[in-house]
Structure 1
Amino acid sequence: MFPRRQLLGGVASLAACPALAQGGMAGSFESFLEGVRADARRAGVSPATLSRAFSGLQPNQRVIELDRRQAEGVLTWEEYRDRIMVNPTRVANGQRNYAENRALLGAIETRYRVSPRVVVAIWGVETNFGGNTGGFSVIEALATLAWEGRRAEFFRKELLAALRVLDGGHISPARMTGSWAGAMGQPQFMPSNFERMAVDFDGDGRRDIWDSRADALASIAHYFQKHGWREGEPWGRAVRPPPGFTLDGADTDSVRSLRDWGRLGFRSEDGSPLPGSELEARLVLPNRGSGQVFLGHHNLRVIRRYNSPVNYGLAVGLLSDRIG
């Protein structure tokens, strides 16, 4: 994963930007590619793969623009939750996809012991259930970002990982598309995450997170399993704080059982008592929120390993509840 793949799709070469096309970064693009070729060959990538991957390759100005662009505005938690992440259309599509893939999701849950609801929620927020996986060439995007230099070391490592993925025969260069930052396929894995986490669930010998729904969804589940998902535990819940509670200075570090949170006066959002459980939780406050308060369990931290912003984790959790 890459922190919020803001825009998917679109291709624009540097032909319209002569200063950059002529190597206005750290040396010429051609010299940069030669260095990558040498590193890739030392890593065992075949000359045939490198020839296919780098044929006609040019830096992409649109990728550089998106990498440098500052956000024009920041959504409140409520806007992000209700308009972007947990809107009625996404919930309905999530419920439909959950029902249509029930057998597959059940098989994935049996193997990885991860809630199928959170798998479908991630699938929904990352690529609209596989409908928008990105239109950028991953090799082109990563090569551009590695050459451009702002985060050269990170993107060079991802480019080399992408070349190894191609060399493994999992996908063709033409089909290896993704976000402007190189996040790939239905789960939006960065290439290094693909190497560690993608699985061949349909048994065809390829880990195809682009066109195999089985591989894509199982890879999400495998990611959560490897990051410590606890089977049968909730991610968290919205709560009603006790009288006198204020957001300023709220203790978000202390870990207490639900029973103890209840003793402190916290209740479920509908006003009912919290479960008298020893399940541990900590207070979680959305960024730019107007008062909603959550208790987050261990599995919320696992969701945030997929994408770290707290609002992302909370929205995925809420969406998973409504899907289920």
Structure 2
Amino acid sequence: MIRNLPPVFLAALSLLLTLTLSAQAGQYDAQFRQYLNSEVVPTARQAGVSQAVLDRELKGLTPDTSLPGLVGPGGKGKPPKVNFQAEFKAPARYFRDSQFNALVPRGRSLMKQHAATLSRIEAKYGVPKRIVLAIWARESGYGGAKIPYDAIRVLATQAFMGQRPDFFKGELIAGLKILQNGDVSRRAMKSSWGGAMGQPQFLPSSFLKYAVDFDGDGKRNIWTSQVDTMASIAHYLSAHGWVKGRDWGYEVILPDTVSCTREGPDNRQKISRFVSEGVKRVSGKPFPDHEMNQPGNILLPAGRYGPAFIATENFYVLKDYNESDTYALFVGHLADRYGNNRGFSGEWKPMKETTRGAVRNLQQRLESLGHDVGGADGLIGFKTRRSIGKDQEKNGFFATCWVG
């Protein structure tokens, strides 16, 4: 047993392990340095980053090979199998009441604490304060989540050996511009392992476009300023087309006579037409008068196995923040629960879970039959859902628009 080995031998073994780990960690250092000098520095200089900033920020930089999803220098190599074989979770898992019950009280407290500021933000950008708070909650737990990574090191590593090298090279240069502008110090410029920064989780290019100094201290600070964080989220949504005065959507009862294959923003029609087809709000209340002649579309995140919604354009603005139906629905639902903390009326029915690989195979089969599934990526978006439904109807079944 190791505890019985002589101390000298243990010391030698410890040194050998240290040297081995150091060699593994540094195996790409020379290639990484060459990449920075030949690829990043010239492009950054052309983009207006000074040599002084480049010298200061890139000096001694090494790749962080512990980041998930790396494939090798130049982005060459097979993506990790988890990208295609990971379990595909049922949407119901994203909407456990415990999550919302944990987030609602803090959101209500912040809404009171920042009431005047949120009113000014809403007046300027047209985005309701409850939506701003819900995104803030989802992205970083109102700033409580740990965001521990050195953003520049993450971006440089992803550019050097990640799956999207060109994309992250651009984000790295944007990050260097942020440091040159002086909004944040390198030490404070923290990100996730994917390079998303601060409390609203902006990539550097989004920071340059949408981050704002709303507290008036001369810096756009999305790391420690709650005010700048909230205003920056609102600015992002406004710039992506948030329609002032409209909600994100409404939970509804969708009668069996309205096929789930009609889901999707490309099937929008006036909400009054849905009403004439028997679509009703679950609350029993009528749709607001100002919404009746506005466009909406069916949204069924779990097909007929979950709650149904009529979504507005603003739902898809939320998706611009994160390209996921469940993300946008989580944000909208949390925003609603700041008022009345109740869950969905519709039931998430038990369903068979599968893998992304299996979903991808299904999508490829549907594509071979002429369906547009929106790309065989292993994710069940609205195009995949309605393609499943159309295939079900073609074969004489009632369409559920879900796997199984």
What range describes the TM-score normalised by the shorter chain of this pair? 0.7 to 0.9
Q: Are 1:102 and 2:115 counterparts?
A: yes
**AA of the residue aligned to 2:330:** A
Q: Tell me how far apart the structure 2 counterparts of residues 83 and 52 of structure 1 sit (CA, whole Å).
A: 48
Distance apart, 1:143 and its partner CA = 0.5
Q: Are 1:76 and 2:81 counterparts?
A: no
2:250 corresponds, among 223, 237, 247, to 237
Once the two structures are superposed, residues 132-164 of structure 1 have per-residue CA deviations (whole angstroms, 9 ceiling, x without a partner) of 151111001010010004211000000000000
Q: Tell me how far apart the structure 1 counterparts of residues 304 and 113 of structure 2 sit (CA, whole Å).
A: 35
Q: Percent identity?
A: 37
Q: Are 1:317 and 2:332 counterparts?
A: yes
Residue 47 and residue 278 in structure 1: after superposition, are their counterparts in 2 closer, same or farther (change >3 A)? same
RMSD: 2.3
1:43 corresponds, among 41, 47, 71, to 47
- Provide the residue aligned with 1:8 in structure 2: none
Residue 307 and residue 17 in structure 1: after superposition, are their counterparts in 2 closer, same or farther (change >3 A)? farther
- Provide the residue aligned with 2:231 in structure 1: 218
Structure of higher CA gyration radius: 2
Q: Tell me how far apart the structure 2 counterparts of residues 89 and 272 of structure 1 sit (CA, whole Å).
A: 28
Q: Are 1:31 and 2:34 counterparts?
A: yes
- Provide the residue aligned with 1:21 in structure 2: 26
5+ residue gaps, structure 1 = 1-14
1:61 partner SS:
coil
2:301 partner SS:
coil
Q: Tell me how far apart the structure 2 counterparts of residues 56 and 238 of structure 1 sit (CA, whole Å).
A: 54
- Provide the residue aligned with 2:206 in structure 1: 193
Q: Which structure 2 residues correspond to residues 74-223 of structure 1 after superposition, within 5 A?
A: 74-82=88-96, 87-132=100-145, 134-223=147-236
Q: Tell me how far apart the structure 2 counterparts of residues 178 and 83 of structure 1 sit (CA, whole Å).
A: 29
Q: Tell me how far apart the structure 2 counterparts of residues 257 and 199 of structure 1 sit (CA, whole Å).
A: 36
**AA of the residue aligned to 1:16:** L
Q: Tell me how far apart the structure 1 counterparts of residues 126 and 224 of structure 2 sit (CA, whole Å).
A: 24
Once the two structures are superposed, residues 188-238 of structure 1 have per-residue CA deviations (whole angstroms, 9 ceiling, x without a partner) of 000000111111111222111111111111111111111111111111011
Once the two structures are superposed, residues 101-159 of structure 1 have per-residue CA deviations (whole angstroms, 9 ceiling, x without a partner) of 11111111122121111100000000000111511110010100100042110000000
1:308 partner SS:
coil
Q: Tell me how far apart the structure 2 counterparts of residues 270 and 113 of structure 1 sit (CA, whole Å).
A: 26
Distance apart, 1:52 and its partner CA = 2.9
**AA of the residue aligned to 2:222:** I
Q: Is the 8 A contact 1:145 1:155 kept in 2?
A: yes
**AA of the residue aligned to 1:31:** Q
Distance apart, 1:300 and its partner CA = 0.7
Residue 108 and residue 141 in structure 1: after superposition, are their counterparts in 2 closer, same or farther (change >3 A)? same
Residue 50 and residue 288 in structure 1: after superposition, are their counterparts in 2 closer, same or farther (change >3 A)? farther
Between stretches 157-166 and 32-41, larger displacement belongs to 32-41
TM-score (norm 2): 0.70
Q: Tell me how far apart the structure 2 counterparts of residues 133 and 108 of structure 1 sit (CA, whole Å).
A: 26
Q: Are 1:263 and 2:276 counterparts?
A: yes
Between stretches 103-112 and 282-291, larger displacement belongs to 282-291
Aligned residues: 306
Distance apart, 1:20 and its partner CA = 6.5
2:320 partner SS:
helix
1:63 partner SS:
coil
Distance apart, 1:269 and its partner CA = 1.6
Q: Tell me how far apart the structure 1 counterparts of residues 118 and 132 of structure 2 sit (CA, whole Å).
A: 9
Q: Tell me how far apart the structure 1 counterparts of residues 267 and 42 of structure 2 sit (CA, whole Å).
A: 50
Distance apart, 1:17 and its partner CA = 7.1
Q: Is the 8 A contact 1:187 1:209 kept in 2?
A: yes
**AA of the residue aligned to 2:53:** T
1:294 partner SS:
strand
5+ residue gaps, structure 2 = 1-19, 72-78, 340-404
Between stretches 44-53 and 162-171, larger displacement belongs to 44-53
Q: Are 1:280 and 2:295 counterparts?
A: yes
Q: Is the 8 A contact 2:70 2:163 kept in 1?
A: no
- Provide the residue aligned with 2:307 in structure 1: 292
